[in-house]
Amino acid sequence: MPDTPILLREERFHQIKAVLARLRMDSNARVVFLVDKDGQQIAVQGEVGNLDTTSLASLVAGNVAATDGMAQLIGEKEFPTLSHEGEKESIHISVIGRLLLVVVFDEKSSLGLVKLRSRQISRQLSTLFEEILQDGCEDLDSPFSEITEEDIDSLFS
């Protein structure tokens, strides 16, 4: 189902935000993002401040795409986790199917703790998104699924 659109209802969005908030608290992270592999931000939880979240989401997706290419060159399907450690801030990325879980943390946390908590939450997010995709497939069977952009345009012409 990689091309299935993600139709996110408000209730599901709040569930995702709650999962991200729990991860942020349990890992003592500064901010947690959920991004798709196309670089679209799905949800964010934490201290964003003046962080350009749109650029970060795009760069994370590009980073994962590049490392997927490296993985394939050495005979691996993908690298399921990536970490970048800086002097003050670090980033940990978990690949969950078509989703990227991004945790930004500082010296108040540790890579080991972030990896452990991210692994636990990844299973929960995977299950949640399977349900979301099933919900979306059910919605595609609705009477509104047959309405095209041309139909809408003709109403307002």
2-12, pLDDT tens digit by residue?
556 666 778 88
* pLDDT higher than threshold 50 for residue 95: yes
* pLDDT higher than threshold 50 for residue 55: yes
Distance CA 9, CA 104 (A): 26
Strands 31-36 and 81-85: unpaired
- The structural domains of the chain, ordered by start, are 10-155 (3.30.450.30)
76 to 31, 52, 72, 95, 98: CA distances (angstroms): 30, 32, 5, 14, 17
pTM: 0.80
